[in-house]
A = this chain, B = another copy of it.
Amino acid sequence: MRATTIHAPGDIRFEEVPDPVIEEPTDAIVKVVAGCICGSDLWPYRGANDIDAGSTIGHECVGVVEEVGSAVKDFAPGDFVIVPFCHCDNTCAHCAAGVQSVCDNLGFTASGQGEYSRVTQADGSLVKTDGMPDDSLIPSLLTLSDVMATGWHAAVAAGVKQGGTAVVIGDGAVGLCGVLAAAQLGAERVIAMSRHEPRQEIARAFGATDIVAERGKEGGERIAELTKGIGADAVLECVGTDESMKTAFAIARPGSTVGFVGVPHGVELPVRRMFQKNVGLAGGMAPVRRYLPDLLDRVLSGAIDPGKVFDLTLPMSESPEGYRAMDERRAIKVLLQP
């Protein structure tokens, strides 16, 4: 098959690789209908993560089941499925506790930007739709494989509740989905920190009531003004840098929780401030499968339309251009079609 691969920082290719095959009886092979590029794919692209030269890249996709292993009971070829980027048996103690991203049998999508992808623990991981969804729904369904579930996890971890103020740090696709999640979970005021007009527009469409364009210290001062000096009831940290984390703890009100979902890079947590202000931290890698049924209902009912985060669609063969567009912030998020 053909798939997107990474060879070195900045060196993305779309090329022939071995077809994924059933390796365990619990596996399924999914023919990708749509994949996309994640903000976290930019870490290796920019040289911030180690690279296994020539390996496939891409962990978000939806598709049609092509083949299942002998132990797979709930899925059959032809099923349209959402593939969580982290695969899970959905039965172990961690899954039962809602932490499917730490499953005893954890696996990851490895060729979501390719023609086929192998899903481990298919029965536990996958969620299917009734029949083939309408083409117009594909982008929103695709976001459920990671980005929307991750934004949702940030909001849940931050303890967003009915009423109150939520601040979202980061206007990437995850941050924008965090805005949508905070609004859906009932935050009365959702403040998006964003400097970019097109992203501000999506944030507003997703339910942001206020936009703060300032960053760092000035951003903190604006949030303090907007919250009458009290701070935010919930903060969603959707970036993963030390600066964004510092901002998060600066604006969180005492007793609140920073929900974090950006893979931390160079973050030093301000433990003294956390202690003095009683501000907690929760979150991490999103347990996608936990949220999938609920999020699928919300997409199918039209309650949410997270597919709006895709502002560029390319043929999969042009994935290298997709990476460039996201790296240069010419695109928020790129959808790839086989």
Contacts and interface: CB of A to CB of B under 8 A. Distances in A.
B280 A285 contact: no
B287 A283 contact: no
A267 B278 contact: no
Contacts of A300: none
B102 A254 contact: yes
A161 interface: no
B254 A282 contact: no
A163 to B, nearest CB: 13
A295 B139 CA distance: 54
Contacts of A282: 257, 278, 280-282
A272 B280 contact: no
Interface in A241-266: 253-255, 257, 260, 263-264
Contacts of A284: 274-279
Interface residues of A, number: 34
Interface stretch (A91-99, A109-117, A186-194, A195-203): A91-99
B230 A278 contact: no
A102 B283 contact: no
A205 interface: no
A86 to B, nearest CB: 11
Interface in A64-99: 93-94, 97-99
A268 interface: yes
A271 B230 CA distance: 26
Nearest to A286: B278
Contact of A264 (B98, B264, B272): B272
A280 B157 contact: yes
Interface in A272-327: 272, 274-285, 287
Contacts of A283: 275, 278, 280
Contact of A97 (B254, B274, B287): B254
A225 B269 CA distance: 30
Contacts of A5: none
Q: Among A157, A230, A274, which residue has the most Cβ atoms of chain B within 10 A?
A: A274
A101 interface: yes
Given A97-B255, A99-B255, A255-B94, A285 B281 contact: no
27 contacts: A94-B230, A94-B253, A94-B254, A94-B255, A97-B254, A97-B255, A98-B255, A99-B254, A99-B278, A101-B278, A102-B276, A102-B277, A257-B280, A263-B275, A264-B271, A268-B268, A274-B281, A274-B284, A276-B285, A278-B282, A278-B284, A278-B285, A280-B280, A280-B281, A280-B283, A281-B281, A281-B282
